[in-house]
A = this chain, B = another copy of it.
């Protein structure tokens, strides 16, 4: 029997404890995300929130995680640096997948792995007075496993606009591009490889709209988790100094 995919959902779980977010996500944003995996035999789901010890992401949870789905917004600065670095380790060196929803691109692990310091300067376009507006998430790469089962386009009745230029590194694969009612566009589904791991930026999911209950969004999350779970990877021998063993395969005895 196939091993189940171990999904851990991290939610900052701050804004969703009070209005106006609470009435949209009464059980927390993590509960809406978790619904994507309800009734699916091939997944095991663990919930982590920022107020738990080690933010719910101690080493034993990370080690038992194939794909980490992340939602955070306003408390990124308070996230522990050491936990953020362990997350990076599990992605880059063990191959754990990392899905950054909406504002999670401003989280510590994402910024450290992507290699853009958003705090160092302006990022993307946002409405000065944001209102919800229609978003169409177009499938750019219809053969990719993350697009499985979707129509040509996901219609979202209202979302917060994220616009270009994002100043992200050129994605290794661009899967979705969004059209906005107000006249903007956004690369909204972007894959980046980092070491052994896969990173997936999926921009929909503003906290004041019920996007994370939408069935097409759930389909994307299931598809992504299935595709991003790590392959059994080569174990490379290391030296005590934290480097890979690199003994010469050709004779170097003539060098002193």
A residues with CB within 8 A of B = 85-86, 88-89, 92-93, 95, 112-117, 119-128, 131-133, 136, 138-145, 147-153, 155, 158, 161, 163-167, 169-174, 177-185, 187, 192-197, 230-234, 236, 238-239, 242-250, 252, 255-256
Contact in complex: A138, B184 (CB < 8 Å): yes
Known: A147-B234, A234-B142. A179 touches B183 (CB 8 A): yes
List the 8 closest pairs (A to B, CB-CB), nearest first. Answer: A115-B115, A143-B196, A182-B248, A125-B246, A183-B249, A93-B121, A183-B250, A89-B120
- Complex-state Cα separation, A85 to B232, whole angstroms: 36
Contact in complex: B256, A131 (CB < 8 Å): yes
Question: Least Cβ distance of A232 to chain B in Å?
Answer: 6
Question: Least Cβ distance of A2 to chain B in Å?
Answer: 9
Supply 17 A–B pairs (Cβ within 8 Å), ascending by A. A85-B120, A93-B121, A112-B117, A113-B117, A115-B169, A122-B244, A128-B246, A136-B183, A138-B184, A140-B187, A147-B233, A152-B234, A153-B249, A170-B174, A179-B183, A182-B248, A184-B248
Task: Please tell me how many copies of the chain the complex holds.
Answer: 4
- Complex-state Cα separation, A143 to B256, whole angstroms: 35
Given A112-B117, A155-B249, 16 more pairs with CB closer than 8 A: A89-B120, A115-B194, A121-B242, A125-B246, A132-B255, A133-B248, A136-B183, A140-B187, A143-B196, A144-B231, A152-B165, A152-B236, A158-B255, A169-B193, A170-B174, A182-B250
Contact in complex: B113, A115 (CB < 8 Å): yes
Q: Chain A: interface secondary structure?
A: loop
Contact of A252 among B133, B139, B172, B230 (CB under 8 A): B133
Contact in complex: B181, A164 (CB < 8 Å): no
Contact in complex: A128, B245 (CB < 8 Å): yes
- Complex-state Cα separation, A232 to B183, whole angstroms: 27
Known: A120-B92, A125-B244, A244-B123. A252 touches B181 (CB 8 A): yes
Residue of B whose beta carbon sits closest to that of A87 = B120
Contact in complex: A167, B250 (CB < 8 Å): no
Question: Least Cβ distance of A198 to chain B in Å?
Answer: 9
- Complex-state Cα separation, A142 to B113, whole angstroms: 18
Contact in complex: A180, B183 (CB < 8 Å): no
Contact of A249 among B116, B184, B252 (CB under 8 A): B184
